[in-house]
Structure 1
Amino acid sequence: MKAFLSFILLLALCTGCEEVIDLKLDSQEQQLVVDAALDWEKGKPGNEQKIHLSYTNDYYTNQPSETATGATVLVSASGNETYTFVDQGNGDYVCRDFKPEPDKNYRLTIDYKGKRYTSEDRMREVPELTESNITQRSDGGFFKDEIALRLTFPTQTDGDNYFMIKVAYMKENNKKSRVYAVDDKFDSDGKISRSFTGSNIGGKFLKGDEVEITLYRVSKQYQLFMDLLIANSLDDAQRGRPMFTSPVRVYGNVVYEPDPKQNPFGAFRVAQYSKIVYIVK
């Protein structure tokens, strides 16, 4: 009984003496973020493209990121074409007469507040996906008890086989998705195969689910960039590294040539993609 009364007294002292501690957290200077993904769906015109410029934000804030307006944004293709991306006043820069072409080099130029940021990438043709590229199994997952979808597609003979795969589907009225960066490093038979289970995305695949699979063909540099971003988004156990290890800053391919330390966040890509919606059986 005496021990119980002592516990009640201790509890009262703990709950009755609350003190709010105001932590003063360091805030770094805002940095430019470039979201310049010019994606062209195979078989579609691809004429309307958008680039978004914004700033980094404090980690604990609930406020939206500040947008960057007033920049001059151009994309030039190998040849004589130069496309102007018009400032929309909200961080978006839009071009409606873009003409994507396979095997062409594209150069991004951003002039903003007295600085010029540049990047280059090459458009590569992606294999076209059909339902024949997907195999469904029922022995997927850690316990071999869930539906798995296996995507198989041919690689190109040019040896430049770097891809990004996005898998998305609706679960409990929310769209769940996950991105994978892949290459043919461990595939030597002229094709790449990867398997996906719903439990790694947001919940097990069920019969009747519509699973959208999008395959982008990207450059090696961009694939490595995405690989690092994906690794940083996983927890320590998923990364296979010691607990509480801080993620590293990921540098993209947009550069400020006079001082690489001032390179912005984000990256530039020009990518053709193929998309299929698969109904789980």
Structure 2
Amino acid sequence: MRYGLLLILSLWLSVGCEDAINVDLPTSEPKLVIDALLGFNENNGNPITVGQVKLTLTAPFFQEETPPAENASVTITDNQTGQSFGLLESEPGVFNLGLPDLQFNRDYTLEINYNNETYTATQQLKGSTLIDNLEQGDSFLFDEDEETEVKVTFTDIAGVRNHYLFSFGFGNFLVIEDEFFEGSQLTFSYFYEDVEPGDLLVVTLFGIDQDFANYVNLTLIQSGEDGGGPFATPPATVRGNIVNTTNPDNFPFGYFALGEFDTKTITIE
């Protein structure tokens, strides 16, 4: 979903003649889009950090590809130790090399320098629970021949209000709040379309805070929940947690989030 202008097309038809109508589309300066979600997993005593900081630019409505933001620099600073980690690109606009080893109860500041302006956000690592079980079911919502049910089971962390972000692959996401099952185990069904026997499905659970949960829900609503996920640029302005400290009026799209995660896979029968 690209940020752009709504184009209203008018057709003028007359008998025996056709005139071409040239429409001058107003343009706006492209805005920076920052997709920054880093995940932490204890990995049986060998902690790992995964994810990326992806920088793109908003594009005109009819442009199919989203251009990367090139010639930027990206750092993440551990505010407790003062140590800064300069991230490196694996491809234009995608910074996923040199990620820091995350720890709980510490502030981490993302800083991006692009086009002589500085963008920053500060977050803490949000804890999560584990996926207890994935299994294939035999129910369906609308079409038995087109849908495949996968049952997801997890146990909520007791004593605190939690928000969870599930990634089901194919750009599909779901946010769950524990208001009605605090401290309990929950099983729910997710229905895939157009998957075949032998397909490997990957389900990932992230712990997120309420602000990011609200942001994801807004972007999913505006994108029609048809792919693109929480970082798809919506058609209307949804402000994230990243600010332009050089020129506040030139705010970016996107979000910086740190979450503990767990992943399980299932092969469709």
TM range (shorter): 0.7 to 0.9
Q: 1:220 — aligned with what?
A: 210
Amino acid at match of 1:229: T
CA RMSD of aligned residues (A): 3.1
CA distance in 2, matches of 1:271, 1:158: 19
SS, match of residue 60 in structure 1: coil
- In 2 relative to 1, CA 96–107 (structure 1 residues): closer, same or farther, beyond 3 Å? same
CA distance in 2, matches of 1:206, 1:89: 32
TM value normalised by structure 2: 0.77
Q: How does 1:130-169 map to 2 (within 5 A)?
A: 130=132, 133-142=133-142, 147-168=148-169
CA distance in 1, matches of 2:124, 2:142: 39
Unpaired stretches in structure 2, ≥5 consecutive residues: 1-13, 227-233
Q: 2:24 — aligned with what?
A: 24
CA distance in 1, matches of 2:65, 2:17: 32
Residue 253 of structure 2 corresponds to residue 262 of structure 1: no
Residue 170 of structure 2 corresponds to residue 180 of structure 1: no
Shift, 1:41, TM fit:
4.2
The 8 Å contact of residues 49 and 98 in structure 1, kept in 2 or not, is answered as: no
The 8 Å contact of residues 49 and 96 in structure 1, kept in 2 or not, is answered as: no
The 8 Å contact of residues 128 and 274 in structure 1, kept in 2 or not, is answered as: yes
- In 2 relative to 1, CA 254–97 (structure 1 residues): closer, same or farther, beyond 3 Å? closer
- In 2 relative to 1, CA 192–257 (structure 1 residues): closer, same or farther, beyond 3 Å? farther
The 8 Å contact of residues 49 and 94 in structure 1, kept in 2 or not, is answered as: yes
The 8 Å contact of residues 42 and 273 in structure 1, kept in 2 or not, is answered as: no
TM value normalised by structure 1: 0.74
Shift, 1:69, TM fit:
1.3
CA distance in 1, matches of 2:238, 2:47: 32
- Cα-to-partner distance string for 1:62-109 (whole Å, 9 max, x where unaligned): 4541423143x2212242032222467832345425112234331112
CA distance in 2, matches of 1:235, 1:53: 22
Shift, 1:276, TM fit:
0.9
Shift, 1:210, TM fit:
2.3
Q: 2:8 — aligned with what?
A: none
Which of 60, 82, 85 is residue 84 of structure 2 equivalent to? 82
Amino acid at match of 2:210: K
Shift, 1:265, TM fit:
0.7
Shift, 1:186, TM fit:
3.2
CA distance in 2, matches of 1:23, 1:264: 29
CA distance in 2, matches of 1:70, 1:189: 43
Unpaired stretches in structure 1, ≥5 consecutive residues: 1-12, 169-175, 237-245
CA distance in 1, matches of 2:266, 2:116: 48
Q: 1:34 — aligned with what?
A: 34
- Cα-to-partner distance string for 1:126-159 (whole Å, 9 max, x where unaligned): 22335xx234432221367854222121111352
The 8 Å contact of residues 38 and 270 in structure 1, kept in 2 or not, is answered as: yes
Shift, 1:164, TM fit:
1.1
- In 2 relative to 1, CA 63–154 (structure 1 residues): closer, same or farther, beyond 3 Å? closer
Amino acid at match of 1:74: T
Q: How does 1:1-281 map to 2 (within 5 A)?
A: 17-43=17-43, 45-46=47-48, 50-62=52-64, 64-71=66-73, 73-80=74-81, 81-86=83-88, 90-96=92-98, 98-130=100-132, 133-142=133-142, 147-168=148-169, 176-188=170-182, 190-199=184-193, 203=194, 205-234=195-224, 247-257=235-245, 260-281=248-269
CA distance in 2, matches of 1:160, 1:25: 47
- In 2 relative to 1, CA 99–55 (structure 1 residues): closer, same or farther, beyond 3 Å? same
- In 2 relative to 1, CA 250–102 (structure 1 residues): closer, same or farther, beyond 3 Å? same
CA distance in 1, matches of 2:151, 2:105: 29
- In 2 relative to 1, CA 215–167 (structure 1 residues): closer, same or farther, beyond 3 Å? same
The 8 Å contact of residues 87 and 99 in structure 2, kept in 1 or not, is answered as: no
Structure 1 or 2: more helix by fraction: 1
